[in-house]
Amino acid sequence: IAAQFGPKPLAGRHALVTAGPTHEPIDPVRFIGNHSSGKQGFAIAAALAAAGARVTLVAGPVHLATPAGVTRIDVMTARQMQAACEAALPADIAVMVAAVADWRAEAAPAKLKKDGSGPPPLSLTENPDILAGIGHHARRPALVVGFAAETGDLIAHASAKRLKKGADWIVANDVSEGVFGSDHTHVQLITAAGPEDWGPTPKQAVAERLAGRIARHFDGTP
């Protein structure tokens, strides 16, 4: 990035990044979660900070060090993540990498016990879509980037998500290939112009390439 634009192409820009899973409590000791490691989102936050942006990283429960120069806000649930994102606006750039739990349960106030009457029923409620909220927000960032984890027809599913959620770009991952927790991934960048195959790459390289692409977007270079 530095060779192309000088050392701080995103100086003066505020970037909001979400990363990691969310945990939705069932009772005081159990939760619904997923296998997101947070590595991709943290790498993107680091790359945007290295490019000069002021970065607010809203992180779900992960075991990762905060990248240099990044302001981190730790949250547990999707609704907390949404509130933290709203509070972080205005931003110029939003990159929503978190694997937000799609559903939450109504958390029991006390630990659920085996009482001989069989497993407790779990009644699930859909969580708010944080990316769609930001993509359609009155104070929408100028550039909104989402991620999509898909199996099956990657490009069709991700392109539909781009439109539905009001995102400019979607970074689409084929998760049938064992991406979670890995340092490697295979992504397509979906823009209004269509898909670009970035091939199999380390997550670190995806972060740097995306930050470079964002810098170019604000620089006005096509």
Separation of first and last alpha carbons in the chain:
16
* Spatial separation of the C-alpha atoms in residues 68 and 155, rounded to whole Å: 34
* Residue 161 interaction partner, one of ligand CTP, Ca ion, none, beta carbon < 5-8 Å per kind: ligand CTP
Residue nearer to Ca ion on the CB measure, 67 or 77:
77
34 in active site: yes
Looking at beta carbons only, is 52 or 101 nearer to ligand CTP? 101
Write the DSSP assignment of 101-142 as a string of letters.
-SEEE---SS-----SS-SPP--EEEPP-HHHHHHT-TT--S
List the catalytic residue out of 27, 30, 33, 34.
34
129 is in an annotated binding site: yes
As a whole number of angstroms, the distance between CA 159 and CA 173 comes to: 12
Q: Give contact residues for ligand CTP (rule: CB under 6 A).
A: 18, 78, 96, 98, 100, 102, 127, 129-131, 146-149, 161
Q: Tell whether 202 is in a known binding site.
A: no
- 12-20, 30-38, 55-63, 97-105 -> range binding Ca ion (CB under 5 A): 97-105
92 assigned to a ligand binding site: no
DSSP alpha helix (H) spans, the chain: 2-5, 39-50, 78-88, 130-135, 154-164, 203-219
Sign, CA torsion 96/98/103/107:
negative
Smallest separation, CB 85 to ligand CTP (Å): 8
Catalytic residues: 34
Binding-site ranges for Ca ion (CB under 5 A): 102
Query: Residues comprising the binding site for CTP?
Result: 102, 111, 128-131, 147, 161, 165
